[in-house]
Homo-oligomer: A and B are copies of this chain.
Amino acid sequence: MTTTGGRVPVGERLPTLEDVARVAGVSRATASRVINGIRNVDPQLHELVWDAVGRTGYVPNRLARSLVTRRTGTIALVVSDSESHDDDPFMSRFFADPYFGRVVGGLMSVLRTAGIQLALQIVGTEEQRTRLVGDLRHGQADGVVVLSLPGHDPLPRMLTDAGVPAVMIGRPADPVPINYVDLANDTGAALAADHLVGRGCRLVGMIAGPADVPASSDRIAGFRRSMARHGHAWVPQVSGNFTQESGESAMRTLLTDHPEIDGVFVANDLMALGALLALRDAGREVPGDVAVVGFDDSSAATAANPALTTVRHPLEDMAAEAARLLMARIDDPAMRVSSVIYEPSLVRRQSA
């Protein structure tokens, strides 16, 4: 018997479950059961309740619900930065970098369909980290995806110690039993080395990222190893910090120190863009005089001129996988710590 009445306002305040129950003529418990689709409720009451929901305009209060269920339907994306970068400039550069957007996009593609929202958190200081972990233990979020920037970050360990479901994007620098999704950075770098040597480069240099971050050191190691295998025992190397400007100045240094250089592997596309600029300034043709291979296959790669030959880094897929892994971990606290490593591939364009 559907009581098709009009709207039932409940005064100033928003309708609560109590109101729905009253309008439907059942107890709060029953209303709750119906709304949450719990088994065993008389179809008649079922309809009565939904009818009341419609008439009152009831919307469950997620906060109140979370308080008792200990589930928030939220996953935190934590950007863990080192204290020194606590000021704006660096972070805003970080956000503008395609890296951040690609990660968010990948995460959202999965979370969105699951109806989970993403909360962005940035922690720089020790205190912020402690606070974050404290909130997380209370179920502020059901789990976290960690983007760890500094080389040795205490956060991963803090998270696992606190028993917070967490997944890192990029392996932890220190051995920590934490789930992570990563790229075989060394293999990717080797791909670049093979390609540069294969196209006949005699002296190839590398523009690396900060040595203390795993993704960066893995690329260095992989590149060096592969070059050595090709008989290049030593490769000139200059470090940047993943920004375009740093790539530009690194390239200048390389050019000054080794004028005969005819190939360069750059640890990310943004720096490669800078390198391209420096090369053009120096009057070197790319790839004619100097071949350039980037890393990431970000949107910058196709925007570059000449278009960048680069190592594809399926960041969106990896982030999506991280989200899936995290959701699985949340649903099964006993899940064993696991990692997923993606294989990179070389995308040939014009720069090499």
Residues of A that sit less than 8 Å from B by CB: 14, 59, 61-64, 66-67, 72, 74, 88, 91-92, 94-98, 100-102, 104-106, 108-109, 112, 117-122, 131, 134-135, 137-140, 244, 270, 273, 276-277, 280, 298-300, 302-305, 316
Contact = CB atoms under 8 A, between A and B. Distances in A.
B122 A108 contact: yes
A104 B108 contact: no
Given A102-B96, A117-B119, A276 B299 contact: no
A76 to B, nearest CB: 8
A63 B134 CA distance: 12
Given A121-B117, A303-B303, A64 B62 contact: no
Closest 10 CB pairs of A and B: A95-B105, A59-B134, A305-B305, A92-B105, A95-B101, A118-B120, A61-B138, A273-B303, A119-B119, A96-B101
A233 B140 CA distance: 59
A278 to B, nearest CB: 12
A134 to B, nearest CB: 4
A96 B98 contact: yes
B100 A137 contact: no
Contact of A119 (B63, B74, B137): B74
B109 A101 contact: no
B91 A96 contact: no
A261 B139 CA distance: 60
A80 B65 CA distance: 26
Contacts of A88: 109
B105 A96 contact: yes
Contacts of A302: 244
16 contacts: A63-B67, A63-B72, A67-B67, A92-B102, A92-B106, A92-B109, A95-B101, A95-B102, A96-B101, A96-B299, A100-B104, A101-B101, A118-B120, A119-B120, A270-B303, A305-B305
Nearest to A124: B112
Contact of A120 (B14, B63, B120, B300): B120
